[in-house]
Chain A
Amino acid sequence: MSAAATTRRGLLTGGAPVAGLAGILALAGCGGSGAAETTTAAAVPTDAGPGDVGILNYALVLEYIEADFYDRVVTAGALRGQALEFAKTFGDNEQEHVDTLGASARRLGGKVIARPKTRFTLGEPAAVLELAATIENAGAAAYLAQLPRIKDPETLAAVLTIHSVEARHAAAFDILRGGHATNGPLAKPRSASGVLRAVRPFVVS
Chain B
Amino acid sequence: MTQADGTTREVFLMRGLLAAGAVAAGPLAGRALAQSGGGDLAVVRFALLLEQLEVAMFSHGLTLALTPGLKGAAQDLMNDDVVHVTTLEKTIGKLGGTPATAPAFQFAARGEKGFLATAVAIEDLVVSAYNGMAALLKGKGVLRTIGAIAGTEGRHAATIRIGSGLPPTQAAFDPAKTQAEVRSTVSLWLGQ
Contact = CB atoms under 8 A, between A and B. Distances in A.
Nearest to A93: B172
Contact of B135 (A107, A144, A160, A170): A160
Given A107-B27, A147-B143, A160 B154 contact: no
Given A154-B31, A181-B158, A160 B148 contact: no
A32 B102 CA distance: 55
Interface string A150-188: 000111111011111111111110110000111001111
Contact of B162 (A100, A163, A167, A172): A172
B158 A168 contact: yes
A97 interface: yes
Contacts of B172: 92-93, 96-97, 165
Contacts of A155: 27, 30
B147 to A, nearest CB: 5
A189 B148 contact: yes
Contacts of B159: 171, 175, 181-182
B147 A185 contact: no
Which of A164, A171, A175, A187 is most buried by chain B, counting CB atoms within 10 A of its CB?
Answer: A164
Interface string B151-172: 1111111110010000111011
A102 B171 CA distance: 19
Contact of B168 (A140, A161, A171): A171
A77 B135 CA distance: 39
A160 B131 contact: yes
Contacts of B127: 164
Contacts of B134: 147, 156, 160
A164 B84 contact: no
Interface residues of B, number: 48
Given A158-B25, A175-B162, A185-B81, 17 more contacts: A90-B169, A93-B171, A96-B172, A100-B26, A104-B26, A107-B27, A144-B148, A147-B147, A148-B147, A153-B30, A155-B30, A157-B29, A168-B158, A169-B169, A180-B76, A181-B159, A185-B83
Nearest to B167: A89
Contact of A103 (B27, B31, B174): B27
A120 interface: no
Interface in B1-59: 24-31, 33
B130 interface: yes
Contacts of B33: 153, 157
Contacts, number: 166
B80 interface: yes
A188 B145 CA distance: 10
B79 interface: yes
A172 B156 CA distance: 10
A154 B155 CA distance: 24
Nearest to B163: A175
B150 interface: yes
A188 B131 CA distance: 17
B29 A161 contact: yes
A154 B176 contact: no
A171 B163 CA distance: 12
Contact of A171 (B130, B154, B171): B154
B149 interface: yes
Contact of A104 (B27, B84, B147, B155): B27
A186 B148 contact: yes
B131 A164 contact: yes
